[in-house]
Structure 1
Amino acid sequence: MASHGVPRQATTEPRTEQSRLKEQKQIQEYTELVDLIERKIAERQYTREVLELTSKLLIKNPEYYTIWNVRRRLLIHGLFSKSSDLSSPSMELPSSSQIATTTTSPADSSSSTTNTSTASKETQSNLASPNPGKNGTTLDLIKADLDFVFPLMVKFPKCYWIWNYRLWLLEEGNKRLEPEVARELWNGELSLVGKMLTRDSRNFHGWGYRRKVISELESPKLHGKSMVESEFEYTTRMVKANLSNFSAWHYRSKLIPRLLSERSASDVQRRLFLDNEFELITNAIYTDAYPYAQSVWFYYQFLMTTLVDSIGHLTITPNFTDEDRIQYVRKQLVNLGDMLDGAEDCKWIYNALLEYTLALCRMENRPPLDAERQDCTSWLAELRKLDPLRAGRWDDFEKTLRWVEVDYRLASDVTGVEL
């Protein structure tokens, strides 16, 4: 799971005749298993036996997405609608550890029509359990499959098909179970993904999965309510634990508009919130990240965009005046200049100084002053040395600097007014 910054170990071993024969046998067993599953599905044998066969195959190769789709068909058209779904909820699928060794005879499903009719009559007379099928074996099937998927997800955390299938199982729970029961499944997922992100806090699959889980827990169909406050606090803990957590910073930026809206934050509260966020990111830059972590600069850029962008500033401070935003940008330029002391080899500071100095000129509707022009030229020279691979970007910045001067000079000549 914890794969960030950890080099992969070589898995290639010297080829021997014994290893070659072993591999040949494994390939033969794999192809025979695939053929067997395809044959049974073609015959519409939607049974537990075939489900167990797909489990064996997916343990060998979880990237085989067609088999995940086969598994869906087995549940939808077979097991979810079998007579067991209308019987005692004590019936369960084998656990993931049993799947590899246990098989069930296909004859178990031969009398499904008769059994369904009988069980249906028994169900109608069971007053103690008015709807046992809805929260009975269907729940057991979903839980068993979630248990099966979990070790695969731990072993192959970047496999899209595993994540997609797990979400599908939970969404089927929404359709087939009572809301309170389905909600418990999603609560379990939230706990699970929290543990996974503790092990690998930068796994973007895990962060995307968490957002999906939260959206379900907040949904009306599960009788949910907003979790934006607790999730915002969660991002705070995660970024403080690892400043290089791109996903946590990104999630935080997406929560902010909802957070302020649900708080019905006043202009004063929004200003204080922005101050606190700048303090958080500045402290992050000055501590362990000092100040080379790309992730913190991306979040810093997000905060600055809320000031310098005509649309972005609606995110946090929609009622800021132009003068308010200009004052904030000037303050940040001073802070950026202070950051250079002892970090003269940090390209991110020079990049920010250059970008927001030009932004300030646009906001004040003026060309760069002589001192600003000299600073920009100096910062560009440093950036060329520190990051030569992005020479084209620095060329564009230099052109922008010249264009700004030319544009204002032409505007001044046309209007006869010095800008």
Structure 2
Amino acid sequence: MPKYYHDDPRWADIDALPQDDGGPYPLAAIAYTDEYSEAMSYLRAVMARNEMSERVLELTEHIIDMNPAHYTVWLYRAKVLSATNSDLSREIAWLNPTALRHLKNYQIWHHRQTIIDKLDSHVGEADFIATMLEQDAKNYHVWSYRQWLVKRFALFPGKGGADGEWDGEKELKWTEGMIEADVRNNSAWNHRWFVVLGGREGETVSDDFIKREIDYAQAAIRKAPQNQSSWNYLRGIVRHAKLPVSALKDFALEFATLESSDQVHSCHALDLLAEIYAAEENTWDEAAKAFELLATKYDPVRAQYWKYRQGLLRQGGVVA
């Protein structure tokens, strides 16, 4: 049932400010509902007088329920919460079902970040994120928010972290669980990269660390050779360790060989072999053959791209 303010005695002191669409005969007036138009006219009025009150919070909640993407309403709500010293734990309790109703809304997550930052506590956030990812395991906003939490509360492996409920080691185990549940979840792979390397900026990583991450990525690739996420992660780790890409040659040969076009089980392995062969002039013929196989049989959708890289070989160009 629509909610209106003109007949509510609590709002009798407010002179609503209607939206000006450009005079009495606007060329392209937006077709808002009467309920939304009136609520916004009252919000303009309270913003004009800079009112900070409980009724304003109720008004913003009403508007957000109708239009959760209105960032101005969120910003003013955050301002009112701060000015009235509101119970921020209540705000989080209200945000939880609101986020579940609007899974792709960015403003909700920015607002939640502001509130959690002021609370200076991540208690309950891991469970809530798990609930959100059950609805959509690749929700970009949720993953971005989790990265912010990891950085905000130093939840990196070996960095101490907050407490036993959620620390760096548990965060790493959680990423492994998400990847195990869906090895093709690129968001989970991206988060693992952030977790294992985000807290090591400027540090030299150990050989044991590099071996662990290479072994982890290779084990995942063996489960799903055509999964690009794990191949990208493997390449990234090797690059981060400043190892030559040729260090992965024997592994790539597990999934692709140029001796028989029927013995290619991963186009990503074939791409890697092409890059390795192209790095040495005496194996350019092998690189050209790999590009030809990619263009004609294993990845014809990107045939022009593979032919372009093949052409660079004849020019002596870099094809990595």
Whole-Å Cα distance in 2 between the matches of residues 294 and 265 of structure 1?
25
Q: Look up the match of 1:58.
A: 64
In percent, how many aligned pairs have the same letter? 22
Q: C-alpha displacement at 1:209, in angstroms? A: 0.9
Q: In the alignment, is residue 350 of structure 1 matched against residue 270 of structure 2?
A: yes
Residue-pair matches, total: 280
The equivalences for 1:336-415 within 5 A come to 336-337=255-256, 344=264, 346-359=266-279, 361=280, 367-369=281-283, 373=285, 375-385=286-296, 386-404=298-316
Q: C-alpha displacement at 1:46, in angstroms? A: 1.4
Change beyond 3 A, Cα 1:405–1:396: closer
Scaled by the length of structure 1, what TM-score is found?
0.58
- Are 1:368 and 1:405, in contact at CA under 8 Å, matched by a contact in 2? no
Whole-Å Cα distance in 1 between the matches of residues 282 and 311 of structure 2?
13
The equivalences for 1:8-407 within 5 A come to 27-77=33-83, 79-80=84-85, 138=86, 141-174=87-120, 183=121, 186-218=122-154, 224=162, 227-257=167-197, 267=207, 269-270=208-209, 272-285=211-224, 291-303=225-237, 306=238, 309=239, 312-314=240-242, 326=246, 328-337=247-256, 344=264, 346-359=266-279, 361=280, 367-369=281-283, 373=285, 375-385=286-296, 386-404=298-316
- Structure of higher CA gyration radius: 1
- Are 2:96 and 2:128, in contact at CA under 8 Å, matched by a contact in 1? no
SS at 2:254 equivalent: helix
Scaled by the length of structure 2, what TM-score is found?
0.75
Q: C-alpha displacement at 1:27, in angstroms? A: 0.6
SS at 2:50 equivalent: coil
- Are 1:202 and 1:247, in contact at CA under 8 Å, matched by a contact in 2? yes
Q: Which range moved further: 191-200 or 147-156?
A: 191-200
Whole-Å Cα distance in 1 between the matches of residues 111 and 50 of structure 2?
21
Change beyond 3 A, Cα 1:46–1:402: same
- Are 1:260 and 1:270, in contact at CA under 8 Å, matched by a contact in 2? no
SS at 2:162 equivalent: coil
Whole-Å Cα distance in 1 between the matches of residues 270 and 161 of structure 2?
50
Q: CA RMSD in A?
A: 3.4
- Are 1:350 and 1:383, in contact at CA under 8 Å, matched by a contact in 2? yes
Q: C-alpha displacement at 1:382, in angstroms? A: 2.2
Higher RCO (CA < 8 A, seq sep 6+): 1
Change beyond 3 A, Cα 1:235–1:341: farther
- Are 2:255 and 2:269, in contact at CA under 8 Å, matched by a contact in 1? yes
Q: Which runs of 5+ in 2 are unaligned?
A: 1-29
Amino acid at match of 1:71: R
Q: C-alpha displacement at 1:341, in angstroms? A: 8.3
Whole-Å Cα distance in 1 between the matches of residues 32 and 196 of structure 2?
52
SS at 1:187 equivalent: coil
Change beyond 3 A, Cα 1:283–1:161: same
Change beyond 3 A, Cα 1:32–1:265: closer
- Are 1:40 and 1:50, in contact at CA under 8 Å, matched by a contact in 2? yes
Amino acid at match of 1:298: N
Amino acid at match of 1:399: G
Whole-Å Cα distance in 1 between the matches of residues 272 and 76 of structure 2?
52
Q: Look up the match of 1:129.
A: none
